[in-house]
Amino acid sequence: MEQDAWPRVAVMGAGAVGCYFGGMLARAGAPVRLIGRARHTEAIQRDGLWLESLHFRQQISIAASSDVSAARDADIVLFCVKTYDTEEAAQVLAPHLRPSTLVLSLQNGVDNVERIRSAAKIEAIPAVVYVAVAIGAPARIRHSGRGDLIIGGLPESACRHELTTIAALFERASIPCRVSGNIEADLWTKMIINCAYNAISALGHSQYGPIVQNPWTRGVMTQVTEEAIAVACAAGVRLPEGVVEAVLKLADTMSGATSSTAQDIAHGSRTEIDSLNGYVVRLGARLGVATPVNQTLHGLVKLLEESTKM
């Protein structure tokens, strides 16, 4: 790719996260094609993508399709599907990729890159996403906090040049993006944050700020975090110091955020809780680490998920 030329970008999974980052790239001038459910993509084709950001409100002209073949000419694919759709989406996407196409996993959880590789032999690049964003209606995205990325390479993954090229692409679109030297720790830190906030936000119908300010839920968050840290350490993950403090501090910049789990419950959709607290519980059981608080939150969200399913 020429230095000043925009690469062609496809977004596999045009939900809130995919539309936000795809929309920001398109707003900056990149050729972007969103791939998602027909109801959503048809509205985008008709009206454009309305992005209500912290910093602007704008109708963005952007291509959209419900056909995965729309990714066939992409230089970069942002892989933004829900974690439970990872394998199927990777298998459907694979035949439409060129050998040189870079695939970036912008998903919750810590094992998506391995699952993508196992399912479709795609060497994806892991990314950690920090953004508070929601779909208010088809083709309408509301951004309420942060909007930055961390990318990195796992063993036998992307080279440093590819990572710096991708980071520069996002920075050019006013999306802060840093290249990590320990992406595994960053993925785990983000998952632990999700474990602490997502279930409580869904069960308590609460935004992040009140969850941290409440002494009882703050205590639960601390217990969830300490259990997850113990599992990570048992798994050999080198976490940084101060993870508990980082978890609680997130609400400073995302006080008005509502978790994706809460949004899924509100829409009667399946949640990603199995890849968050559920993952910690399963891995903890294999490693002999007790995770009773994570297990409780996982079980309660699964019950709520069943009762609200449409």
Catalytic residues: 190
Closest among 205, 193, 115, 299 to 291, alpha carbons compared: 299
CB 132 within 8 A of CB 155: no
Which residue in 239, 244, 231, 205 sits closest to 283, CA to CA? 231
Distance from the Cα of residue 114 to its chain's centroid: 16
* Dihedral pair phi/psi, residue 142, rounded to 5°: -115, 125
Question: Cβ contacts of residue 155 below 8 Å, gap of 6+?
Answer: none
H or E stretch covering 242: none
Separation of alpha carbons 227 and 170, rounded Å: 34
Q: What is the largest distance, in Å, between two alpha-carbon atoms of the chain? A: 54
The packing angle between helices 292-308 and 215-234, to 10°, is: 110
Strands (E), 138-287: 140-151, 177-179
Nearest alpha carbon to residue 44 among 59, 57, 30, 31: 59
Cβ atoms within 10 A of the Cβ of 29, count? 10
Question: Can you tell me whether residue 36 is helix, strand or coil?
Answer: coil
What is the Cα–Cα distance from 97 to 81, expressed in whole angstroms? 17
